[in-house]
Amino acid sequence: MNTTFSFKKVHPALAFILTNITLGAYVPYWFISRRDAFEQLGKTELKYKALKLFFVLYILMFGYYFAGKALFTDTGANFAETIHLWITFTGLGITYYSAFRIAEMMERECENFQYNRILLLLFHIWYLQFKINKNFHQHSKKD
């Protein structure tokens, strides 16, 4: 296996904590920040414009979470909650699409990379980060 790829090593527990602290904004950031490594590995089918859009929307919703109730009337707050639901579920769909495309690409391009589809469905980027750490960083410890 070629270990010259520049994948960032992050402990999956830290990725989990960052995801929860940022109310999900870390998830699209995770894909965006690893774009060069993914493209170095092979052709990706990720929608980076959509990931960037949802990163910005998550940041805006993060601000709404803390200040929204004071800025909106009841009608405005209800509308914002509806938009928030749309952003959340559409962003979740894009997350799963991206996670499965990355896992399939890595399985195709790396000889010993295999992933469990159930674990990927349950733990998306946290599981991918675990597999990246295991497959691309274990060799550097031995050398």
Give the position of tokens 């993060």: 62
Reading the chain (143 residues) residue by residue, the pLDDT tens digits are 444 567 888 999 999 999 999 989 999 999 999 999 888 887 888 999 999 999 999 999 888 888 877 888 889 888 988 999 999 999 999 999 999 999 999 898 888 888 999 999 999 999 999 999 988 766 544 44
Distance in angstroms (rounded) separating the CA atoms of residues 131 and 91: 23
Cα distance between residue 126 and residue 12, in whole Å: 5
Q: What is the pTM of this model?
A: 0.85
Longest Cα–Cα distance of the chain, Å, equals 61
Integer Cα distance of 137 and 23 in angstroms: 28
Does the residue 7 lie in any domain?
Answer: no
- Is residue 119 in some structural domain? yes
**Does any domain span residue 98?**
yes
Give the Cα separation of 140 and 84 in Å (integer): 42
State the residue range of the domain holding 60. Answer: 12-136
In a domain, 2, yes or no: no
CB 25 within 8 A of CB 62: yes
Q: How far is CA 27 from CA 77, 99, 116, 127, in A?
A: 25, 10, 20, 12
In a domain, 6, yes or no: no
Asked, for residue 132, whether it belongs to a domain, the answer is yes
| CA dist list (Å): 118 to 8, 66, 67 | 24, 34, 37
4 in any annotated domain: no
- What's the number of domains the chain is made of? 1
